[in-house]
Structure 1
Amino acid sequence: MSNSKDERDGLGPKDKDSGRSRSRRGSRGRGPRGDESRKGASASGPASVDEAPAPREPVRERERAPRDGADERPRRAADRTGAPTTFKGFTLSAFQLQAVRAIEEGHDVLLSAPTGSGKTLVAEYAIHKSVERGKRCIYTAPIKALSNQKYRDFRDDPDIDVGLMTGDVTIHPGAQVLIMTTEILRNSMLENPDSVKDVEYVIFDEVHYMDDPERGTVWEESLIFAPPSIRFICLSATIDNLGQLGAWIEEIRTHELTIISSTKRPVPLKHRFYLPDVGIFDEHKLPRVRKQVKDAAGRSERGGSRRRATFAERMKRRDDARRNETRGFAVLLDELIADKNTPILVFSFSRKDCERLALVNKHRRLLDREESERMEQLLRATMAGFELDEKQMIGELFQLCLRGIAYHHAGMLPVYKEVVERLFTSGLLKLLFTTETFAVGINMPARTVAFYGLRKFDGETFDYLRTRDYLQMAGRAGRQGIDSEGLVVSRLDEKDLVEAPLERLVRGKPEPVESRFRLSYSAILHLIEGLGRERLFEAWQKSFNQFQHREGGRKARERNAHIQKRFLEGLLGFLHEAGFLEEDDEGREVLAPKARVARQVYGFELQTAEWLWRGVLEEVDAAGLAVLFVGLVFEDRRRFNEERIPQRMYGGVRRHAEQIIGKLAKRESQFSVPVALKQPDWGLTPAVVAWMRGAPFDELQDEVDIPAGDMCRCFRMALQVMRQLRSALDSSYDLPDRLSEAIEALGRDEVDARRQLELG
């Protein structure tokens, strides 16, 4: 491997002797769709392994092999190539075997398979191989809950030295196996590349998150900037352009890549629809049901009044429709429960609806006497483990749990969500109403998945689900080794019959992953110092964005390159105008002093550095610092909800802070930057002040009408920014001490993520 500066930067040409055949590299000109032939891929794209013989034993994604107390290392039988055919006591499936062989050969791996099919076992195999060789390994997850779950899994393995870094929690960062969020990995690569130079494998769980509009760029940047020696295991849900994604990874990385695609589920799914006046019906009956409903609607229109309804009448109709929806769904649940199709995961894309539906169903008693006793014992034990007051047993949520019912969403305190997750894995929760977050990564399958609706808010409008999202949630149906098939039922209304893309959801191809490459300010500042401004555009030239646009004609490619270059030049122009970049004695653009602070703060780097440089943080006590940084990260989900915050609650400091960011944002707008700097939102200020004075968490909602989970998450985000700022400052200043005081006071009790993790 070359040791040139270009290769150390991760932006230079590849080593000609890297082990990849010259003919494979020579096929690059065949286009970005990944049509070239390569290991694990046919001429038309990634190889499908679904036709291979079925494994003799089921592969379970999270279960661990039984231990005999003498030899606790995973046992592996080998095939004729020397690769193992079993791992952790389970016979490997066809796609797992192919992935294991690729790992044995030192390849990168891009694996696409349905939810619950056993992708994680491939990652665990790579980790165990690295551990056996004395190498380090990093496992990244898109959400902190999944990171915490994997940390606990590996913590229980005596062969693995494991640590965790999520922003909320740092435990044993020098461990041989390190679990972290993808943002932490990207930040480590930019800030201190030497910290990952001895890593053999990086596992990207849920790599299709590259498609996320807000966070997707982090996955791209990590693949681009990782040292050439690192190998990647990329695990993905089923996507349409796997070959294209693989061709890009193969182009920018050093090692040979094996692409594996499997569409076969260990437990097949049965998709059904439900309409109150029709009942449960199959997909092939859709045309008949549509005609039946259309005819009925026509008769109703001919017999109805043409008078325009009053506002009160329209509101009554809406309320009646809501009640009818609830009653109709109750009939569906009656049928599913009677047919012994529990546990049931009900996906609803409204937090309020999750709670409302759970409470509407509280009359159900889904546990027999023996199960009820086990549930009460388990609930008491789990609450004691998390040091929750037993008086909370009489609360709404836990009373529902005692009936085998619960709800789960991001507005709940993290510890309550974790209690619900523990109860669900026990099999004693028979009916769980949840938002889509329950489908991401955390392996908690059910017998049945029911969709209360198929439309969700995408940040701008309400629209029908993407096929990929539907399949990810539907994939939670069917438990390996228990169910012969999983049942998926979607509740429809008459409008859905006409407008919903029902055939596409059930039978269509999942959407392709699209590049969301957009360098952050902190990434730009790191790259300028490492590469210089003149080479900064090379980062985009290695991006998936550039790769995908090769398919277009010459004019389209040139137009995209012009847009990207103009965007980058706008960012650079703004950074120079705002004093983050300056020229040295030789006329080269270099980082100004405040940029050296900004580059170590991720997400709110410019606002934080500007506050520091403009004196906003001077003479502010610990509570005032907490108010400022919670205001910086908080964004009220509700629209048009401005509440006046009393002047006595750091009104002067807040006004000064807001003016500083307002001026900075005005400068930014002059350079046509498409995503504006976030302005502070002071809506949580009364709760922050009360919390810093020692109030219990359950009293904070007396101060502000914000869900407890949202408050806790914002407090933790503010802690992360304050920790980053503290690390960037010279300890001779007094600000680090005040930040430490604020961090200690804000990060107590329910907000203390490390305490929750250790208790669990």
Structure 2
Amino acid sequence: MAIMQKKNPIGPKRRNENFSKNRVHTKPRRNFRKKRNKPQPLKIKPGADGRLKKVFASIGVPEKGTFTPDAFQLEAISAVRHSDCLVSAPTGSGKTWIAEQAIARVMEKGGNSWYASPLKALSNSKYAEFSEIFGSENVGILTGDRKENPDAPVIVGTTEILRNQLYDSMHQGQDLATDFVILDEAHFLGDEDRGVVWEEIMIYLPIRIPLLMLSATIGNSDQIAGWLSEIRSKECVVVEETKRSVPLFPLFFHPSGTLLPLLSQNGSGKKLYKKVSTYTNNKLSPGFEISRQLPPFGEILDVLKKYDLLPAIFFLKSRADCDNALGLCKNNFVDDPDRRTRLSQRIRELVGQSDHFAKHRQLRDLEHLAVGAHHSGQLPAWKLMLETLMTEGLLDAVFATSTVAAGVNFPARTIVFLNSDRFNGREFLPLSSTEFHQMTGRAGRRGMDNIGFAVAIPGKFMDIRLIANLVHSPSSYVLSQIKINFSMVLNLLLSHTPDQIEELLKKSFATYMILRGKKKRKAQRLIGNEHKYLWRDFLQHFNFLQETGYVMRDGQLTYDGVWASQLRVDQPLMIAEGFRLSLFPGSDPALLAAIITSFVSEQDTDDRIDKDLIPEKLMKAFVSVKAGLRPFAKHMLMRGFEPRPFFLRPAATIYAWASGQAWEDVLPFSEMAEGNLAMLILRTADNLRHIRGLYEVFPEAAETAGKAIELIMRDPVTGFYEA
């Protein structure tokens, strides 16, 4: 029986993603405004404080002229000729130009360069950009989804691919086939989930290869450089630029529609502007949070349009708010007929032959109102289209979650804050200075704006004083996020003895922070009291691998350990054990894709599902794999490792998609947002690619995995991605 031929009678709807309705907190969320009598909202009428007249007069486009590099850019180019270099500069200040010049110099000498970024979308963008600069024949891309021209002198890819190449070169006893490495968004070193990859690259990279790191401003760049200088036995020069290429002016949007300076002394001070302070201190000040509704975005856009503050990016707290905001902009018609024509033509070009995007529910808002919603619940290709339209100056506003601030070239004249906190996946926390500066880094387009603006709108979850303090606050410290996992242990044991691995772990940034860091006490509190903690964690993983037959007593990998090391995925041992026990379907691509999805899905799901909706062979395979791996999962749990639970609904969803069912049928069954389902498919494809790489050990499964990738990587998931 095919999936979804009848309505699921008992499967409840997925929890609403709108955090305003279903908030999950580990701590009570702070209400920044005291309770008060219910004031009536003011009628919005565009207005501006007299002190803004001079500021608004500076709005405009800079005169076209010969490009002159800034002093920090020239300093970085000079430094990277003889040393490693860490560039810490505001978002949008021109760090990519440094990379371009450095790559050109390496090419002139006949060398190769590797440009690593944290996001596939950013890698795709840089690939297109570098192809224009250096010629498409000289540029390749490696992201997992795409593999083009891999022997080109310039390679663009994700940090995970670069890390994996370092694993392979160490195993084969060969040097990495590049002469220069650029790590973009190097502040990701402090990312809780992915920072370990950046740290591994910095530790494993051969000393002969110069390293250029491009980062948003960070508070402890000298400390990071000191660590790198020590472990790489060569100088790491810090080049810091604190001045924005486009000046930023912070504004306050009074609910009456009047724009005020947020800070005293024409925006350069640290105290609130007197009128803003008066508003903030008055318990009865009118606000926008009447009945917990969204502010009247259409009227707010009218005010911003009157003072030439568009285009704008509005940062909202949830996906639902971003989508619902579009409905409040119904009167934001594009007045300029030329821009209206160019917008329609460009949308038709980007939508192309995709029937799905041609029917997208937000297409009319995009084309007729010049507004869009951008968040992780949307398909990658749709988000990329919005980014393209915004970059080309064809949209008035984009309503986005804060994730758009990190790593995407998505500029505007104005950014608008409605909340002073951010949901990190577990709880709401106040914005950090780094997060704030990343967001405000999108305000003011270099070469397109003389000045950028950050507008704070008062509301229930807005701490105006916090925003004011963040304007001139120093950037946050980056802390080590290194952690041991089974994939790391297996891959290091390919080329190192346990004693050598202990020496590698002593090179970690975490160890350096604890022993020599300026924030030693903070590091000890967050990481541990002594540098041996990583080694103890390694031994715990090492001992388990010995118990389960992946590692021998002398530390060498067994036959199973060698091929399992190639599974550079989140759950390598569970998948490896599935192969050792012959639990996986060997010749059915759709079935293999479905089962592998069970190892990919991270989010909790309500797995109550009508079993009549599940094809018999899928149910049989799922139950067999789950039962077969239960003893191994219990063994992991006994040794202190927590395996993830298996969920049937994601497996059934991918089975339906791989079996050729339409997106419009699969999506409601999945009980996911479009973007979440697309990400599940993309991550499943990543896992299948690693299985495809085991062709010498499991030829049938490898061939089946390749066919499974072809089945699931299709429109509308692929868009600008390729399998």
TM over 0.5: yes
How many Å separate the matches in 1 of 2:63 and 2:606?
50
The residue aligned with 1:102 is 79
The residue aligned with 1:23 is none
The residue aligned with 2:236 is 257
How many Å separate the matches in 2 of 1:185 and 1:59?
40
Shift of 1:555: 9.6
Deviations 1:413-457 (A, max 9, x none): 122122222211221111111122322233232111112322221
Mapped pair 1:479 → 2:445: yes
How many Å separate the matches in 1 of 2:326 and 2:391?
18
Shift of 1:296: 3.2
Deviations 1:297-335 (A, max 9, x none): 5x99xxxxxxxxxxxxxxxx9995322x423x5443331
Residues 398, 575 of structure 1: alpha-carbon distance in 2 compared, 3 angstrom cutoff: farther
Residues 293, 748 of structure 1: alpha-carbon distance in 2 compared, 3 angstrom cutoff: closer
Identity of aligned residues (%): 29
The residue aligned with 1:564 is 534
The residue aligned with 1:240 is 219
Residues 293, 437 of structure 1: alpha-carbon distance in 2 compared, 3 angstrom cutoff: closer
How many Å separate the matches in 1 of 2:223 and 2:359?
52
Moved more, 413-422 or 555-564: 555-564
Shift of 1:156: 2.0
Shift of 1:232: 0.4
The residue aligned with 1:580 is 550
How many Å separate the matches in 1 of 2:574 and 2:376?
27
SS of the aligned residue for 1:263 comes to coil
Q: Equivalent of 1:656, from 620, 624, 627? A: 624
Q: Equivalent of 1:410, from 343, 360, 376? A: 376
* Aligned ranges 1:455-466 → 2 under 5 Å: 455-466=421-432
The residue aligned with 1:52 is none
* Aligned ranges 1:58-77 → 2 under 5 Å: none
Retained in 2: the 8 A contact 1:138–1:199?
yes
How many Å separate the matches in 1 of 2:115 and 2:610?
44
Shift of 1:277: 5.9
Deviations 1:466-497 (A, max 9, x none): 11011111111112233221010122225634
* Aligned ranges 1:31-70 → 2 under 5 Å: none
How many Å separate the matches in 1 of 2:165 and 2:357?
43
The residue aligned with 1:381 is 349
How many Å separate the matches in 2 of 1:555 and 1:208?
20
Residues 619, 723 of structure 1: alpha-carbon distance in 2 compared, 3 angstrom cutoff: closer
Shift of 1:412: 1.2
Deviations 1:311-366 (A, max 9, x none): xxxxxx9995322x423x54433311221111111112311111111222133113
Moved more, 143-152 or 588-597: 588-597
How many Å separate the matches in 2 of 1:198 and 1:702?
46
SS of the aligned residue for 2:552 comes to strand
How many Å separate the matches in 1 of 2:274 and 2:175?
57
Residues 242, 495 of structure 1: alpha-carbon distance in 2 compared, 3 angstrom cutoff: same
Mapped pair 1:90 → 2:55: no
Mapped pair 1:222 → 2:201: yes
Retained in 2: the 8 A contact 1:59–1:93?
no
Q: Equivalent of 2:149, from 146, 160, 172? A: 172
The residue aligned with 1:296 is 283
Shift of 1:659: 3.6
Shift of 1:381: 1.8
How many Å separate the matches in 1 of 2:228 and 2:195?
15
What amino acid is the match of 2:253? Y
Shift of 1:294: 4.6
What amino acid is the match of 1:149? S
Shift of 1:535: 2.6
Residues 478, 555 of structure 1: alpha-carbon distance in 2 compared, 3 angstrom cutoff: closer
SS of the aligned residue for 2:647 comes to coil
Shift of 1:174: 1.2
Give the paired residue count.
Answer: 644
Mapped pair 1:154 → 2:130: yes
The residue aligned with 1:443 is 409
Deviations 1:84-133 (A, max 9, x none): xxxxx622110011011113x32211100001100111111111111111
Deviations 1:157-202 (A, max 9, x none): 3556111111111111111111110011111101234675341110
* Aligned ranges 1:138-537 → 2 under 5 Å: 138-159=114-135, 161-193=138-170, 197-276=176-255, 279-281=258-260, 282-284=262-264, 285=272, 289=276, 292-297=279-284, 320-323=290-293, 325-327=294-296, 329-384=297-352, 387-389=353-355, 392=358, 395-493=361-459, 496-497=462-463, 501-537=466-502
Shift of 1:531: 1.5
How many Å separate the matches in 2 of 1:58 and 1:201?
35
Moved more, 651-660 or 450-459: 651-660
The residue aligned with 1:668 is 636
The residue aligned with 2:101 is 125
How many Å separate the matches in 1 of 2:710 and 2:143?
18
Residues 293, 750 of structure 1: alpha-carbon distance in 2 compared, 3 angstrom cutoff: closer
The residue aligned with 1:610 is 577
Shift of 1:249: 1.0
* Aligned ranges 1:699-718 → 2 under 5 Å: 699-718=665-684
Retained in 2: the 8 A contact 1:58–1:266?
no
SS of the aligned residue for 1:167 comes to coil
SS of the aligned residue for 1:483 comes to coil
How many Å separate the matches in 2 of 1:391 and 1:486?
32
What amino acid is the match of 1:561? H
Retained in 2: the 8 A contact 1:347–1:450?
yes
Shift of 1:536: 2.0
Mapped pair 1:112 → 2:88: yes
SS of the aligned residue for 1:582 comes to coil
Shift of 1:606: 1.1
RMSD of the alignment, in Å? 3.0
Give the structure, 1 or 2, with the largest relative contact order (CA under 8 Å, sep 6 or more).
Answer: 2
The residue aligned with 2:27 is none
SS of the aligned residue for 1:406 comes to strand
The residue aligned with 2:25 is none
Retained in 1: the 8 A contact 2:614–2:652?
no
Deviations 1:671-694 (A, max 9, x none): 334xx3333333223332222222
How many Å separate the matches in 2 of 1:623 and 1:543?
42
How many Å separate the matches in 1 of 2:600 and 2:327?
32
Deviations 1:481-529 (A, max 9, x none): 332210101222256348x623432121111000001133122112223
* Aligned ranges 1:529-548 → 2 under 5 Å: 529-548=494-513
Deviations 1:14-58 (A, max 9, x none): xxxxxxxxxxxxxxxxxxxxxxxxxxxxxxxxxxxxxxxxxxx98
* TM-score for both structures, normalised by structure 2: 0.83
Deviations 1:617-639 (A, max 9, x none): 14562111011112221233x66
Shift of 1:59: 12
How many Å separate the matches in 2 of 1:679 and 1:202?
38
How many Å separate the matches in 2 of 1:424 and 1:207?
25
The residue aligned with 1:730 is 696
How many Å separate the matches in 1 of 2:503 and 2:375?
41
Shift of 1:235: 0.5
SS of the aligned residue for 2:513 comes to helix
Deviations 1:705-746 (A, max 9, x none): 211222122112111111111212326742222222222212
The residue aligned with 1:36 is none
Retained in 1: the 8 A contact 2:563–2:697?
no
SS of the aligned residue for 1:234 comes to strand
Residues 662, 240 of structure 1: alpha-carbon distance in 2 compared, 3 angstrom cutoff: farther
What amino acid is the match of 2:163? R
Residues 412, 726 of structure 1: alpha-carbon distance in 2 compared, 3 angstrom cutoff: same
Residues 195, 744 of structure 1: alpha-carbon distance in 2 compared, 3 angstrom cutoff: farther
Q: Which consecutive unaligned segments of at least 5 residues does structure 2 have? A: 1-60, 265-271
Residues 555, 128 of structure 1: alpha-carbon distance in 2 compared, 3 angstrom cutoff: closer
How many Å separate the matches in 2 of 1:647 and 1:442?
39
SS of the aligned residue for 2:599 comes to helix
